[in-house]
Amino acid sequence: MSDTENTTSTLIVKDQPTTSPASTITLATQKKRKGRGLLPSRSPKFIVGAILVLAIVLFAIIAPIFSQNPRSTDNPALQPPSAEHWLGTTKLGNDMFAQLAIGAQGSLLVGLVAGGIAIVLSLVFGVLAGYLGGWREDGLALITNVMIVIPGLPLVMVIASFVPQRSWQLVAFVLGITSWAGAAYVLRLQTRSLRTRDYVYAAKVAGERSFRVILVEIMPNLLPLLTAQFLFAIIFAILGEAGLSYLGLGPNSSITWGTILNDAQSGQALGRGAWWWFVPPGVMIAILGAGLALINFAIDEVINPKLRNAPDAARRVRKAAKTKGVTA
């Protein structure tokens, strides 16, 4: 081969475009798409759940303004829904729409207060125990394990049965102190993993106090998990209060969706055919629980990428199977 041919071959090889720019662009696009997938607001589950929860909250705020006194007995008893009474009346003549609106406030307050108490206790017995380690972690973990073993709802029933006058604050407090152990266990394991990260070691070497390390370095990484646990605690509290009230162990000085169901049961609403007495509160509880659950599922997809990528993986499998069948 002549020198001219060798030179030409060398120039051709040098002039060939490299694939590094395309690879860089591809990686950047993948990272951008991956970052967008981390946003729960783009999830249909989150959008539908947020709409349902927001509708319930707006109903609890606005509806009592336009309704009559929920304890008024001046109305005819057991009237079906009409233009005057949109959801009918109860056995005592109480307007059901007014009771449903005030009951929404009571149930939401029970859920928020109980969820707040549960998440605070979870932080103390979960995050603090996971970060401190040693004998302090063992002591806090022992209390957590004991609370996990004790059944929550029967304990709440026993406590409520010994208190003759029960307000919604007391019921929320009892539900909160009996529903934190499971979340604390999960948070403790996650915090034990985070405390070994390099940025946590760097903060400790820099002389940062433990409180600031937990607040600045560890807590931001636990926010999705904390939000999911908080929503689960709210769902548990609302359903727990409804169950206690149905059994006659709920608040007896406040109106909630659970107390409405208890009144309907004691007033034999089903036997009287007064469906408007027990169906609306049951539907409201179901809608609120579904909305919070959908938001919780969307947050779970942020925490666990496998759940977020599962639909795409299933579509790829179906597409591959379909392509294989056509080729065959």
Query: Domain ranges in the chain?
Result: 51-64+78-306
User: What distance in Å separates the CA atoms of residue 208 and residue 211, rounded to the nearest whole number?
Assistant: 8
Helix orientation angle between 219-246 and 168-177, rounded to the nearest 10 degrees: 130
Q: What is the pLDDT of residues 47-97, one digit of tens each?
A: 999 999 999 999 999 999 988 889 888 889 889 998 888 999 999 889 999
Its sign, for the CA torsion 61, 65, 71, 74, is negative
User: Which pTM value belongs to this model?
Assistant: 0.77
| pLDDT value of position 305 | 63
DSSP 267: T
User: What distance in Å separates the CA atoms of residue 47 and residue 45, rounded to the nearest whole number?
Assistant: 6
Instruction: Return the CATH class of domain 51-64+78-306.
Output: mainly alpha
Q: What is the pLDDT of residues 243-273, one digit of tens each?
A: 888 888 888 888 999 999 999 998 888 888 8
**Diameter over CA atoms, the chain:** 112
Give, for 188, the enclosing helix (H) or strand (E): helix 181-194
| Positions in the chain short of pLDDT 70 | 1-42, 304-319, 321-322, 324-328
Residues 6+ apart with CB under 8 A from 146: none
| pLDDT value of position 281 | 94
Residues 6+ apart with CB under 8 A from 276: 80, 81, 87, 88, 96
